[in-house]
Amino acid sequence: MDTESLKIMLINKIIGNIYWNSKENWWNYTIDYLELEWYELNKEVLRKQTIAKREIGLHFESGSRILSDGDVLAVIETTLIVVKVKPNECIALIAGSNYELAKMCYEMGNCRVPLFIDENNNRRLLLPKDKSLQMMLEKMGFEPITIRARLIKPLSATLSKSYET
């Protein structure tokens, strides 16, 4: 085994977030992104490479906070290792009324489908792309469209202040 394969940075805590921690001077640093899929944000153990090819090993305790877009994982001299959620194909829904919004959320909750708020349009709900789910939504009378977006703002009963607008 060569020594290059042994050079891995193990991370087990989140230092801050470049979007939420306004007290920090994050803008003074160069950013090396660790690009993750939306479903990788809640993994307790993960091994990935950053954009600059740094090997990162993530190991979080069970039940600890899940990762979010913009989380700072490490500071290496003048470089930050920051989580960035990759865009992917999604189903987008826009409610015409409060009743329709409630119905969408209720039906998706019954199906145990994760819901997200679009980062560019707070009136648009996003769901992971799934052909059978899209067909079901059409049969229910909704008008789902397919778009490319980042699933970064999960909708839940415990919506945090950072997601409110």
Phi and psi at 47, nearest 5°, equal -125, 120
Domain that holds residue 132: 88-163
CA distance 18 to 42: 19
Q: What is the pLDDT of residues 23-52, one digit of tens each?
A: 678 788 999 999 999 999 988 899 999 999
Q: Do both 74 and 146 map to the same domain?
A: no
Q: Do both 61 and 124 map to the same domain?
A: no
CA distance 153 to 98: 20
The CATH number of the domain holding residue 101 is: 3.30.70.790
Q: Do both 24 and 48 map to the same domain?
A: yes
CA distance 2 to 109: 48
Residue 91 burial (CB count, 10 A): 22
Q: Do both 21 and 75 map to the same domain?
A: yes
Q: What is the pLDDT of residues 108-148, one digit of tens each?
A: 888 888 999 999 888 899 999 999 999 999 998 899 999 99
Q: Do both 12 and 70 map to the same domain?
A: yes
In DSSP terms, which residues pair with 35 in a beta bridge? Answer: 84
44 close to 93: Cβ distance less than 8 angstroms = no
- What does the block give as tokens for 18? 């470049």
In DSSP terms, which residues pair with 71 in a beta bridge? Answer: 17
Place of tokens 């990788």: 40
